[in-house]
Amino acid sequence: MADVRGKNNYKIVLLGEGRVGKTSLVLRYVNNTFSDKQQTTIQASFLSKRINIGENTCNLAIWDTAGQERFHALGPIYYRDADGALLVYDTTDTESFAKVKNWVKELRKMVGQEIVLCIAGNKIDLDKERQVEKSEAEEYAASVGAYHFQTSAKLGKGIEETFLALAKKMIEQRQENDSRQSARRSGGNAPILVVADDTSNGGSGAASGSKACNC
């Protein structure tokens, strides 16, 4: 699957319950627009953005999916070869957070550790109606090796940071994968490197999780 995507192309899939603001997040990030009258997303839509990270330029291909439970079956089509997943919940709706947990389980089971996970609690502008506590969400994110951010598509808060962190991590992950693969191919030194890789890979999830809690 890696040969299909270009060297600097990264695929991100947005998952989460209906009406948590997935489309609004993407539109704020890509076009810097916001409308409180957003159409429902049917099946999925696609947007792309080019960003610079250090010396690297990378293209983010962002797949925005429909949130209704009925479309769950189509999920694999979108996350199958994704580099990263942004799981969105609504901070005013505990049910949507439970749904994020389901997605994490499914992604870890179906795709494994290779996919970079990021959880975003949207609609923090509605702080009065908040039902999902920040600490609770952060704790959970850390436990599954995911970033956690609080966002507001309406106010444009936290979104740049979310995608930037996700992109950085995806680049890192891919470089790791590449070096591991080339190491395997190069033969002689391989055993040592593989061991080293395994440990770093195992630890990276937890490390990034705790790092992410600072927002």
Partner 1 sequence: MLPGQGWHADLQTVFQSLWPWGGLNGQHPNEQLEEEEEEDLGVWEDDLLPCVSPEVLVLEKRDRPLLLLYADENEQDNKVLREIARCYHDRIDVFTLPSDRKEVLQHVEPFLVGQPSAQARAMFITQHGGLWHAFSYDGSLIFEPLALFVAANLHSQTCPAAYLRPGGFVRHLVEGSQGEILGEGPSQEGPCLLLVTTSLEPPDWFSNVSRIFHPRCKFGLVCEAVLRRCMHVSDKAIDPRSPSNPSNQSYILLFLLPSLEWQKKVGIPGAISSALSSDPKAVQFRGSSDVQAVCGFLSTMMMECRKRRKEKMKARSCADDDSWVGMVYKYGSDYLRKQLREACVSKPEVLNGDNKDAMLISDSGNTRLYIDLSHSAMEHVLREHLACGSRPSEGLALQDIWRKGLPEEIRGRLWAQAVGNAAMLNQEHYHEHIVVARDLVGKGAFMDRASRGKEEGELEDHLRQITLDLERTFPGMYFFSKNGPFHQDLREVLFAFSATRPDLGYVQGMSHVAALLLLYMPACSAYIALVNELDKFHFKDFFLIDVKRIDRYCAAFHVVLLEHSSKLACKLRQIGVDARYRDEAAD
The binding site for partner 1 (CB under 8 A) comprises: 1, 4-5, 18-19, 35, 37-43, 66-68, 70-71, 73-74, 77, 80-81, 94-95
Distance in angstroms (rounded) separating the CA atoms of residues 24 and 156:
10
Q: How far is the CB of 6 from partner 1 (least distance, A)?
A: 9
Q: How far is the CB of 211 from partner 1 (least distance, A)?
A: 33
Residue closer to partner 1, measured from CB, 19 or 168: 19
Residue closer to partner 1, measured from CB, 71 or 213: 71
Q: Which two tokens stand for residue 40?
A: 């429902």
Q: How far is the CB of 53 from partner 1 (least distance, A)?
A: 23
| Phi, psi (rounded to 5 degrees) for 87 | -100, 120
Residue 114: name the closest of 165, 64, 174, 190 by CA. Answer: 174
Looking at 128-186, which runs of residues are DSSP E strands?
A: 147-150
The distance of Cα 158 from the centroid of its chain, to the nearest Å, equals 14
Residue closer to partner 1, measured from CB, 67 or 209: 67
For residue 86, the cross-strand partners are 14, 118
Q: Which two tokens stand for residue 197?
A: 């890789």
Distance in angstroms (rounded) separating the CA atoms of residues 83 and 63:
11
Residue closer to partner 1, measured from CB, 107 or 146: 107
Q: Given the structure tokens 């499914």, which residue do they identify?
A: 106
Distance in angstroms (rounded) separating the CA atoms of residues 133 and 18:
20
Angle at 12 between CA 101 and CA 1, to 5 degrees: 110
Residue closer to partner 1, measured from CB, 35 or 175: 35
Residue closer to partner 1, measured from CB, 96 or 152: 96
Q: How far is the CB of 124 from partner 1 (least distance, A)?
A: 20
Q: How far is the CB of 131 from partner 1 (least distance, A)?
A: 9
Q: How far is the CB of 164 from partner 1 (least distance, A)?
A: 25
